Amino acid sequence: MQDHFEESYMGKLWYIVLGEDKRSFNEYFSEEHGITLNDDITDYQLSFLVINVLCGQWAIEDEQSNRFKIMDKLKEIRDLNLEFGVYFQIPIIGF
């Protein structure tokens, strides 16, 4: 079961954005934003949420020197979305 998660869209997205944090998406969004995720959340919905909430928060909170880290993560998410066919425009965050 663990191998399946690691190869799934959600597993790969988790590794990109929360791998260092170690909390699940449910734990993170519940504790940090008061959002409870349904078990049937789609890849598209999760990607949209991560990009607009998580990456947006990083852009606001992080120092100017970390902007490249955020952009790198957005590029990784874009590549993952292309791999799994999760298509929508990723907003450009201005610095």
H, E, C per residue of the chain: CHHHHHHCHHHHHHHHHHCCCCCCHHHHHHHHHCCCCCCCCCHHHHHHHHHHHHHHHHHHHCCHHHHHHHHHHHHHHHHHHHHHCCCCCCCCCCC
Q: pTM above 0.85?
A: no
Q: In this predicted model, what pLDDT tens digit does every residue of 8-61 receive, in sequence order?
A: 999 999 999 888 888 999 998 899 889 899 999 999 899 888 887 776 666 666
* One-letter amino acid of 28: Y
Q: 3-class DSSP state for residue 23? A: coil
pLDDT on residue 95: 40
Q: In this predicted model, what pLDDT tens digit does every residue of 54-91 receive, in sequence order?
A: 766 666 665 665 667 777 888 898 889 889 988 766 55
pLDDT on residue 63: 60
Q: Which position has the token pair 């959340």?
A: 41
pLDDT on residue 9: 93
- Angle of helix 67-84 relative to helix 9-18, nearest 10 degrees? 180
